[in-house]
Amino acid sequence: MTATKGLEGIVATTSSISSIVDGVLTYRGIDIDDLAENATFEEVIYLLWFGKLPTGAELEKLQSDLNAASTIPAEVINQMKLFPKDVNSMAALRTAVSALALYDAEANDMSQEANVRKAIKLQAQIPAIVAAFARIREGKEPLASPGYSSVAANFLFQLTGKEPDKIAIEALDKALVLHADHELNASTFAARVTVATLTDIYSGITSAIGTLKGPLHGGANEAVMAMLEEIGTIENVVPYINGKLERKDKIMGFGHRVYKGGDPRAKHLQKMSLELGKLTGNLKWYEMSIKTEELVTGLKGLKPNVDFYSASVYTTLEIPRDLFTPIFAISRTSGWTAHILEQYENNRLIRPRAEYTGPVNQKYVPISER
């Protein structure tokens, strides 16, 4: 038995949800470029869950189901009020989502219908939790969903208490489309491994959130912004990046396990970063990002991934830095739940082997002789 480090190149399951072939990402066979230009996030949720684009009536039903399911149980809000105010927002989300299961009477109902209902609740309540925690830590009361027809618009309202403008809604909606699913990424794999024991969907999503939090996965978007803020000025990009590369530090937002020729999602976020920069009259973060890309790609051949330009996009939308990864979670909930439903439909316990590298032929030594 020989282990493959990081399971690189290992095909661990079959799936009909999303694919990456020759650097092209598709959801249910539709190219991400097509979806990024034309689809709303709610259409993508439907596509991922049910395998086809919704009709107008199906889309309306999904939007109204999401709105009807968006109220966070009062007990969970009360628990969130007890969280330390300075706690990591992904840790807060992970704990609150785990708590949701305690107040859902059908948490352990394993029927397909109940699991779809729980997927709707999770997709509706996760954005509400992210916004609620952001308000609670500032001493403000969480806001109920205004019941708009889009997850992006509801979230922006629940976060700020103000009616969001059209540009912000469209930008966030596109970011949600781009992050919705990504084949067997680490957090989706974690979700599938968890539910393959036939535990409940809340356990699967809790595992996934904990996995997404790490800086080698979803946490990279916050690390990118921290880096840009540390660089501070466009003049400082060259010495800063050169210094990092000389020390063999990783540059956050670059590289990818699967895409070696470039992440197809990055160009959409780059374009959005430029457009939003022009609209707000603040191109600083975009220009620093472009300079960083020129340098890292030129010197190391590494291309930006989905996290790199999402950092400047969210910053230009005035979203606090530590909500970037929770926003990724809001989007990826659609993919995680689609994969969980698919895993339940054709389940087998996921239990690989390990190549043992420890000592052999050892004997127990009584404690008095050690």
Question: Measuring CA to CA, which residue among 298, 292, 290 is closest to residue 239?
Answer: 292
The rounded distance, in Å, linking the Cα atoms of 175 and 309 is 10
Nearer to ligand ACO, 208 or 302 (CB): 302
Helix/strand number for the chain, H first, E second: 16, 3
The rounded distance, in Å, linking the Cα atoms of 123 and 200 is 16
Does the protein bind ligand ACO through residue 89 (CB under 6 A)? no
Does the protein bind ligand ACO through residue 243 (CB under 6 A)? no
The rounded distance, in Å, linking the Cα atoms of 89 and 259 is 29
Does the protein bind ligand ACO through residue 256 (CB under 6 A)? yes
Question: Measuring CA to CA, which residue among 209, 53, 31 is closest to residue 130?
Answer: 209
Does the protein bind ligand ACO through residue 253 (CB under 6 A)? yes
Applying CB under 6 A, which part among 16-24, 43-51, 200-208, 248-256 lies near ligand ACO?
A: 248-256
The rounded distance, in Å, linking the Cα atoms of 158 and 361 is 61
Could you tell me the two tokens for 211?
Answer: 């996995």
Applying CB under 6 A, which part among 43-51, 88-96, 217-225, 228-236 lies near ligand ACO?
A: 217-225
Does the protein bind ligand ACO through residue 268 (CB under 6 A)? no
Please, are residues 180 and 169 in contact by the beta-carbon 8 Å criterion?
Answer: no
Min dist. Cβ of residue 178 to ligand ACO (A):
10
Q: Which helix (H) or strand (E) holds 19?
A: strand 18-21
Min dist. Cβ of residue 328 to ligand ACO (A):
7
Which residue among the candidates 179, 182, 217, 256 is catalytic per the annotation?
256
Does the protein bind ligand ACO through residue 240 (CB under 6 A)? no
Does the protein bind ligand ACO through residue 251 (CB under 6 A)? yes
Q: Which of 155, 157, 254, 309 binds ligand ACO (CB under 6 A)?
A: 254
Min dist. Cβ of residue 223 to ligand ACO (A):
7
The CA-based angle 250-256-257, given to 5 degrees, is 115
Does the protein bind ligand ACO through residue 250 (CB under 6 A)? yes
Does the protein bind ligand ACO through residue 237 (CB under 6 A)? no
Helix or strand or coil: residue 177?
A: helix
The rounded distance, in Å, linking the Cα atoms of 90 and 92 is 5
Applying CB under 6 A, which part among 13-21, 40-48, 249-257, 284-292 lies near ligand ACO?
A: 249-257
In the block, tokens 């979700």 appear at 191
Applying CB under 6 A, which part among 56-64, 97-105, 189-197, 252-260 lies near ligand ACO?
A: 252-260
**Catalytic residue list contains 256:** yes
Q: How many CB atoms lie within 10 A of CB 93?
A: 26
Does the protein bind ligand ACO through residue 178 (CB under 6 A)? no
The footprint of ligand ACO (CB under 6 A) covers 6, 216-218, 220, 250-257, 300, 302, 305-307
